Structure 1
Amino acid sequence: MPAFRTALQLMAFSVPAFATLWSYEGSKSQIPMYSEISTKIYDGALWRFETENQDVFQWTLRVAQDYSLDVWRASGDYVDVYTAGDSVIPKALLSVPHTISNLSTTVRTPSRNSYTNAIDRWNLTSLENTTYHAAYHPSWEIDEFMHTLAELYPDEVTVLRLGHTAMGREIYGLQISGDTKASKAKPGFLITGAQHAREWVAISTALYLSHALVSNSSESQSMRGLLDDFDFYVVPSPNPDGYDHTWETDRFWYKNRQVVDPVSPCVGIDTNRNWGYKWKPHSALGNLGKKKKKPVPDDPCSTWYPGHRAFEAPEVNNLANFVSTLNGAGGPHAKIKAFVDLRSYGQMLSTPYSFSCKRMPKDAEDQLEAALGSVQALKVKHGTIFKTGNLCSTLYRAPGNIVDWMYARAGIKYSYAAFLRDTGTYGFSLPAEWIRPVGEETGKMIEYLAKFIAKRQK
């Protein structure tokens, strides 16, 4: 593996002092070439239960949870459930109108046993001609992509080390800037990839956007012009432990891989329910339809387990620390002015709040105006239609959400969750040939949002 050195002088790059910057020494871009590939095939079915009203929705979801079914998505008027292996749908649910899509997902994991030049193999010098965005990639290829991008564009790209995961892996991010001398005065734009491990296209899209931000302005999908107005911070894989698990063991794993109980056979925290704004020891979903005065804390085996306390997950705590060093408690001097959390699936651009359907942000009008323009810009590229609205109304009530914390605690006025393609045909198994189209249309959304905010600040 290449040798690295740590650059200790950080102030010139306008990044927090705890973050570490990487640069290459010696032989560069030597990354594994994979001649051996392990293949796993996941055969299953995606069931969509159409729920005509909230009573049916809550009942359907409660039954699915009581039978420990794998709920992929619950969105008010439908509940998506994935079955594989010995999983069966209880007879009670079959009375709800439903459709079934058969899914066969193949995961081909490359083995690291020889080396080749990353630039030559993927042609990262060109966004249009690269082969990198034609496939999903395991963690080591994601890390090498980020370091190679920093090598190719040393004046624009800096690799950040944000801290370690529950299993000790490093969490990497990118700072992408234009004129570094002017960076301190520029607002920041933060983009995060999949907090939930199985949402692969969110990670791939974060990588595509990073590439587009540094690509030559002559290329048709280049976003380099945005660097005139913003410094971008991109964290493609904020849950690398969980993401690795989806490659190695369970393609549809959801949480991180943290040990949370000395006796429970289950591990993992839902990192998107572990943020410190309106955190609760139970998920709203876990108590749907239960007539009890006091909500019951979630079991560690629950898909939506929020942890024993807020910020218990180191992945969440590290990202919050990073944002806090840039924004403090918010206010006019906060660096980051825009935040987009990339997710899948559902084709929505959602605003705060997630913890309540009754509370509205004081900036709701501006947030929605920017969102409506952004989804229209996205639609122009490939015709993809996105919905807009606050998180609670477009999904369900969920405390401890990252978007709520970024808005209410970090003071990022324009905070959004972007649920990428599709609407349920493939769900989390979106084919790799869709990576580039999703990246292109998401780029148009980010571009509109950045220009909207820049114009408002002038």
Structure 2
Amino acid sequence: MRAQALVLAILSLATPTIASIDKPYNSQQPFTSTNSGIVGQGDRYDDQQVWRIDWSDYSDVNKQDIMNVIELLNLDVWHSTQSSLDVRLSAKEKDIMGNIIPSESFHPFISDLQSLVEESLNPGEENPEDIDEKFSEISEGLRKKKKNKGKKGKNPKPSIPPIQIDPFNLTTIDTPFHDKFHTLKEIDKFGRTLIETFNGTRGIEITELNLGKTFEGRIIKGWSVKMNPNGNGSIPNPQPIPEPDPNDPEPDPRPLPDDPDHDDPATPAFEKRLWKSDDDLDGMELEFVIQAGQHGREWVGPSSALYFLHHLLLRATTEPNSDPAILLKSFRFTVIPQINPDGYEYSRTKSRLWRKNRQDVGGKGNCLGIDLNSNWGYKWRASKSTACSEGYGGKEAFEAYETKAISEYLSSAAERGNRVRAFVDLHSYGQLFMFPFAHSCDDFPPDAEMLMEAGLGVAKAMRTKQGEGYEAGQACDLTYRAPGDAIDYTYGITDVRWSYSAELRDTGTYGFMLPPKLIRPTADELTAGLMYLAKFIYALEVNPP
């Protein structure tokens, strides 16, 4: 049989157990299919586990052998690094891999996947008593304190009902919108509400972008924000940031002018550099693009992107001399929270772990979908995997509707009169912040020193904010990636110097099923990291030393 012969030829580690397989096992076949209209009531994962392979001592050849078998069997790789590989397995697949991988290097870390899926899903209807619980407790405590002020005794009157906060009241970052995952309609409403709340305030200009359509006809939306320096309440011109004392081995942090958070230990320390940007950026509008949602099941990325945009607008409109206000005068920030709305909707309603888009790609097995992050047109090459594989990169670069739409937006910046200067692609999980290239470490960016310096600062800012560790480095060093990565394209083709890919929380406890209670902490640390990166670029290129 061709499949078994190929496995035996590829793997010197192979055992007779593999020879009993007549054809690759299709892990995308649904286990059950029930009412698909409610989150979590589609495919089930009752016999599924996630196993971690410790391959830190394996040679590159052995690692590639394992990846070849994973591609052949259409297995679902969750996370890969140079030291470990997380893969979702059914009982049958686990037996196969267990005969390939030595037992001491192979162990489960999510033993009951279906239970974890159920625990992570949002309820169909919120219980009003649970809405914004932590803020209700605070408000109730304040009311009790006020009512009992000046009274003797310990018998206060019953407290009044807690205040409920409208999720779409965007005048506060404490809105409970940021404490749950949302439908596409709710995300669209959030964007419209941002425009209604902030557009025109202190010169803020917010534009809703329709970037293209998906295979199933959904619009890929984004929101672009800039502060007009001539608008009402505009901020003063950017001020130069003073040089640190060159005789001081530990230069003081160099915050932006009049920043109320100047004593934050995560504020960057911009040492004197021997380099600076060679590009003539005078008079050119610089754009900072944040993209999320390439993989449908990675819900925390879109949520974190929206939180960042909301934070940016709130600070800029309420604190005229804050970092966001100054940065918005020099940069246009464009947030594309959900580049893969078809995959996201399918993940929400039918198959929680769906990764790809929902494009008809033909071929045997009637399998659907392209892995968007393997379909960008830099050093792209056809995958050995079948169309049923989770990592299927398509028959050609930009075959996916979504990658084609966003690449056209990025490459047409000059027509809009601006320059995309930074691009950050949000994913989960792994807690990494990475610069190009992903496809191979043989392709080394000439800006690697600058990219690494900024990346290390971002990782520190994120760690300082919430205490969670993030690692920075080149993508090919930190992960085991395929060609066709978004940041390889933005850096290698569209010349976006500050191109990064972020893997948000966590490191494997929940994987893609991060519970809603961790949305806000994840988004908060991402916001700290993105602010650091924007300030780094500002100090280097807008007001260089």
1:315 matches 2:438? no
Q: 5 Å matches for 1:235-384?
A: 235-261=336-362, 263-282=364-383, 297-327=384-414, 335-384=419-468
Candidates 56, 60, 67, aligned match of 2:73: 67
For residue 87 of structure 1, report the CA deviation from its aligned partner. Answer: 5.9
Task: Indicate the structure with greater strand content.
Answer: 1
For the 8 Å contact 2:363–2:387, the answer to whether it is kept is: no
Candidates 213, 232, 256, aligned match of 2:333: 232
Q: CA 1:363–1:39 in 2, change beyond 3 Å: closer, same or farther?
A: closer
Moved more, 55-64 or 257-266: 55-64
1:142 matches 2:187? yes
Candidates 201, 215, 227, aligned match of 1:178: 227
CA deviations 1:366-415 (Å, max 9, x no partner) are: 11111111111111101111111111111124211110110111111010
TM-score with structure 2 length normalisation? 0.68
For residue 57 of structure 1, report the CA deviation from its aligned partner. Answer: 3.5
Candidates 404, 407, 410, aligned match of 2:494: 410
Q: Give the aligned partner of residue 194 of structure 1.
A: 293
Q: Determine the C-alpha separation between the residues in 2 that align with 1:345 and 1:428.
A: 7
Supply the AA of the counterpart residue of 1:250.
S
Q: Determine the C-alpha separation between the residues in 2 that align with 1:190 and 1:65.
A: 32
Q: 5 Å matches for 1:77-88?
A: 77-83=83-89, 88=94
Supply the AA of the counterpart residue of 2:432.
M
* DSSP-derived class of the 2:366 partner: coil
Q: Give the aligned partner of residue 211 of structure 2.
A: 162
Q: Determine the C-alpha separation between the residues in 1 that align with 2:353 and 2:452.
A: 32
For residue 100 of structure 1, report the CA deviation from its aligned partner. Answer: 2.4
For the 8 Å contact 1:37–1:108, the answer to whether it is kept is: no
* DSSP-derived class of the 2:412 partner: helix
1:428 matches 2:521? no
* DSSP-derived class of the 1:54 partner: coil
1:105 matches 2:189? no
For the 8 Å contact 1:310–1:400, the answer to whether it is kept is: yes
Supply the AA of the counterpart residue of 2:306.
L
For the 8 Å contact 1:223–1:443, the answer to whether it is kept is: no
For residue 98 of structure 1, report the CA deviation from its aligned partner. Answer: 2.0
CA deviations 1:26-61 (Å, max 9, x no partner) are: xxxxxxxxxx96553755432112113233544443
For the 8 Å contact 1:374–1:445, the answer to whether it is kept is: yes
Percent of aligned pairs sharing the same letter:
37
Candidates 203, 210, 215, aligned match of 2:314: 215
Q: 5 Å matches for 1:113-132?
A: 121-132=166-177
Q: Determine the C-alpha separation between the residues in 2 that align with 1:172 and 1:242.
A: 15
Supply the AA of the counterpart residue of 1:446.
L
Unaligned runs of 5+ in 2: 1-36, 126-163, 235-282
Q: Determine the C-alpha separation between the residues in 2 that align with 1:203 and 1:131.
A: 16
Moved more, 140-149 or 44-53: 44-53
Q: CA 1:66–1:415 in 2, change beyond 3 Å: closer, same or farther?
A: same
Q: Determine the C-alpha separation between the residues in 1 that align with 2:298 and 2:336.
A: 14
For residue 253 of structure 1, report the CA deviation from its aligned partner. Answer: 0.7
Q: Give the aligned partner of residue 291 of structure 1.
A: none
* DSSP-derived class of the 2:444 partner: coil
For the 8 Å contact 1:378–1:444, the answer to whether it is kept is: yes
Moved more, 187-196 or 143-152: 143-152
* DSSP-derived class of the 1:241 partner: helix
State how many pairs are aligned. 398
Q: Determine the C-alpha separation between the residues in 1 that align with 2:323 and 2:523.
A: 11
Q: Determine the C-alpha separation between the residues in 2 that align with 1:157 and 1:334.
A: 16
For the 8 Å contact 1:159–1:175, the answer to whether it is kept is: yes
Supply the AA of the counterpart residue of 1:247.
R
Supply the AA of the counterpart residue of 1:101.
I
* DSSP-derived class of the 1:132 partner: helix
* DSSP-derived class of the 2:224 partner: strand
Candidates 133, 149, 153, aligned match of 2:178: 133
For residue 260 of structure 1, report the CA deviation from its aligned partner. Answer: 0.8
1:398 matches 2:482? yes
Q: Determine the C-alpha separation between the residues in 1 that align with 2:193 and 2:89.
A: 39
For the 8 Å contact 1:57–1:79, the answer to whether it is kept is: no
Q: Determine the C-alpha separation between the residues in 2 that align with 1:178 and 1:264.
A: 51
Supply the AA of the counterpart residue of 1:177.
K
Q: Give the aligned partner of residue 45 of structure 1.
A: 49
Q: CA 1:89–1:63 in 2, change beyond 3 Å: closer, same or farther?
A: farther
TM-score with structure 1 length normalisation? 0.80
For the 8 Å contact 2:431–2:503, the answer to whether it is kept is: yes
